[in-house]
Structure 1
Amino acid sequence: MLRLRAILAALLLGAPLAASAADITRIASSFDEDDPFDLFIDVGFERTQSREKIVREQLAGTELQEASEVWHKAVDSRLNLKLAIGLYKDLEFSFGLPLILQQNDSYNFVSGTNDANSTIVNNCLNPDGTLSSTACPSSLFTIPQTSKRGGLGNMHFGMAYAFFNQQRDDTKPMWLVGLDYEAPTAKVRDPSEDNTAVTNTKGNVGDGVHKYTFYTSLSRKMGVAEPYFKASYTLPVLGPGFYSNCAHPETLGTPENCGVGKWNRKETGIHAPQVASFLFGSEFTAFRDTNKDQKFALDIRTIGNYVSAGRYYNELSAAMGKLLSSSDFFQVGGQVGATASAGEAFTLRASGTFLYDTDHTLTNESLGVTPQDAAANPSNPDINPNFDYRTDLTTRRFRATESTTFRLELSASFAF
């Protein structure tokens, strides 16, 4: 142990390190004359809390209205571990692994809604649209309730290359392009499992989907300011262990169509959304001591995300016990952060992020045929087995409104 401590101390105090850049364009680079090897180890804590009001469409005469039903609150706390190694000049390989401490979903009535007037509680329909012959009313789900999940998340592998490096040529900006691959290594979540306080068990957190994120980022040091920009696109691809609602067809409208015709497992399973993102902002150096390699900087950025339509684990999935089809929506917001370096080898970062989601539908499954054809032939094999007449039919759909997210991140970075 004494020998190991001595080696670490020598690396921390004596290793030649690359000059600092904006965090968003930081890259590990090796085989430089004054910096033969770069290694970054990041350890961080992240807590994300989101809240939205879930409303439901109702037909009042000939007018479509929305009835306020429940508040949904989601809390995600995790430890993020990341390792970045310089493979060559301006070429980086990275590996990341999140440990998800909690991933909880809670549902409670909004003010003015209760068991007596909630359309969720006072339901008399079966998923196929017929009247329930056993219990009326038959609640769609229990309110209040809290479901819990946790465990190791998906592994991340990344490659990045800097086409321009301002630290080498101060006439050019920092310009990175990269690929982040999220492998479906976490145990796949089964939304039909009861992970509430009744069972006192934690569910899994995986989705069984490969995710490829292509990105580019630029920054330019100009005095105390270093403005930057980043754009990215995430492409999801089904993995071998993805979940399909047909694995537990009891909540489906036409379960007999599972596996029939075009309704194979791929078609009825998860359809993860594509995500296009951009952010721009600037770091502002408030203090710098070049002799001691100390620095304090503020980071302010604007964030925008577009999330496409898809069938996945959305805000209502924990309650309904299945994958649900969401419409597309935008996320807009910003982040304020601070970075403090006690030397080139150690950096602390803290940030707070606020995001607002545009209103979007949470139960938007397609029937697969026209309503007239479905009424004429309820056993039509072209009817989408995922379609639930209780929630996917116009005048019964659920929507997320007033959606806000706040994220707090604290991290420490060690450079070797």
Structure 2
Amino acid sequence: MLRLRAILAALLLGAPLGAQAAEVTRIASSFDEDDPFDLFLDVRFRRTQTHTKVTREQLSDQIVNPEAPDDEEFTPGRIERPEVWHRGSDTRLDIALAIGLYKDLEFSFGLPLILQQNDNYAFVSDTNDSNSTIINNRLNPDGSTTVSPRSLFTVPSTSKRGGLGNMRFGLAYAFFNQNRDDTKPMWLIGLDYELPTAKQRDPSLDNTGDDRGNVGDRVHKYTFYTSFSRKMGVADPYFKAHYTVPVQGPGIYSNCFDGESQGVPGNCFVGKWTRKETGIKAPHVTGFLFGSEFTAFSDKNKGQKFALDVRAIGTYVSSGRYYNELSAALGKLLATQEYFQVGGQFGATASAGEAFTLRASGTFLYNTDHALTNENLGVAPEEIRTSGGVLDPASNTNVNPNFDFRTDLVSRRFRATESKTFRLELSAAFAF
């Protein structure tokens, strides 16, 4: 009862309950007078599930216009026809090591073990083999028609992948460290480099059986970030901003490796359509998160702490050509429209001592609607543009070989709608 009263008093009065920084501004620091060496080992289990309704654009001459007169209630236009539910799951074990190189200077290393990375497809209600445009497709990639239906992909189906992911190396420095000077906040800047060490994922392979596919995108990723936190009584508000720059690495995949999915395969590796131009173009990602940890209990002498963590998350993902929700089904990289992720996270942290910390969190994200098959037909040369002409897919080498008339033409594109992401994380951190 005495301890409970002390905790309640601290919560009400805002008294300091320990000097540990928020998790987003934790840093390994060595050669301090009272702490000559820091080493952190983190083991994190992460389960991510994405639930997306995939729709398809379709022309219709019966679009309801509620503002039109009664005799003009229907006008032609474009609708989105619900086709399939996509359920993506990613289960992984992340192992990370952080070492203090000097005062407030940290080097880190990480390696994910991807236990399971699956894509599952199933019809939405009221859609089936008889009325689905996926099953009853009569177009070839070049736009020619077929006599009998040729399904774009099998529904229902499940594609499976797994293996070691990309290694990550990082450097971080704390300009201010509240643990050393309590008149200042924690302020970190850092750079993480993701090296494309995972085996290349080939989306054209059928991984619906027992054999699992690879998970590597063969892309270098450089993530710059800065984070702040300032402990004030029981609250430890924080902010973090980040930006990821992708750079194509060696051995990137190109859809030109599989001519069956190309509208104009003859243009592959001709002129401007090099492997670099037709290959993966990972998106730029920028975002922020802000929130606060709230300490419910802390014993500085024993290094014990229990805190709750509430944060808001916002992320922008640029357009690009990469592996998205339909890549496993259509068997190729897909030009994806830009979109936003917004959501939040709730977590709890418990430290049994300075050497051991447990953390659990749940995250919910909403992904704004965006096109999943959005390849450009190509760029017409100046003489065609100035004369008002258009590209001729049958003879013009300026036509993008990635363009697929079945899925990239307006009124046939696939879109991601009602997309939600759920994530559960459990981690254990060991300090030496």
TM-score in terms of structure 1 length:
0.93
Give the letter for the 2:42 counterpart.
D
State the match for 1:387 in structure 2. 403
Offset at residue 290 of structure 1 (A): 2.6
Partners in 1 of 2:88 and 2:401 — Cα distance? 28
Runs of 4+ with deviation above 3 angstroms: 369-372
Offset at residue 195 of structure 1 (A): 0.1
Is 1:221 aligned with 2:238?
no
Match of 1:262 among 236, 253, 272: 272
SS at match of 1:319: helix
Offset at residue 170 of structure 1 (A): 1.0
Match of 2:90 among 60, 76, 79: 76
State the match for 1:31 in structure 2. 31
State the match for 2:290 in structure 1. 280
Aligned residue runs from structure 1 range 231-310, under 5 A = 231-310=241-320
Q: Which ranges of structure 1 fall in alignment gaps of 5 or more residues? A: 1-17
Residue deviations 1:82-133, cap 9 Å, x none? 0000000000000000000000000000000000110111100000000125
Partners in 1 of 2:140 and 2:429 — Cα distance? 54
State the match for 2:11 in structure 1. none
Give the letter for the 2:91 counterpart.
S
Is 1:144 aligned with 2:156?
yes
Match of 1:361 among 356, 359, 371: 371
Offset at residue 294 of structure 1 (A): 1.1
CA contact (8 A) 2:123 2:155 kept: yes
CA contact (8 A) 2:52 2:85 kept: yes
CA contact (8 A) 2:189 2:226 kept: yes
State the match for 1:9 in structure 2. none
CA contact (8 A) 2:85 2:123 kept: yes
Offset at residue 372 of structure 1 (A): 5.8
State the match for 1:12 in structure 2. none
SS at match of 2:216: coil
Is 1:182 aligned with 2:194?
yes
State the match for 1:312 in structure 2. 322
Partners in 1 of 2:370 and 2:21 — Cα distance? 38
State the match for 2:117 in structure 1. 103
Match of 1:164 among 154, 176, 189: 176
Offset at residue 379 of structure 1 (A): 1.8
Kindly tell me the number of residue pairs found equivalent between the two proteins.
394
Offset at residue 374 of structure 1 (A): 3.3
Match of 1:154 among 153, 158, 166: 166
State the match for 2:10 in structure 1. none
Aligned residue runs from structure 1 range 318-397, under 5 A = 318-369=328-379, 373-375=390-392, 378-397=394-413
TM-score in terms of structure 2 length:
0.90
Offset at residue 249 of structure 1 (A): 1.5
Offset at residue 369 of structure 1 (A): 4.1
Is 1:129 aligned with 2:139?
no
Partners in 1 of 2:263 and 2:365 — Cα distance? 35
Offset at residue 19 of structure 1 (A): 5.2
SS at match of 1:203: coil
State the match for 1:413 in structure 2. 429
Is 1:54 aligned with 2:54?
yes
State the Cα RMSD in Å. Answer: 1.2
State the match for 1:194 in structure 2. 206
SS at match of 2:24: helix
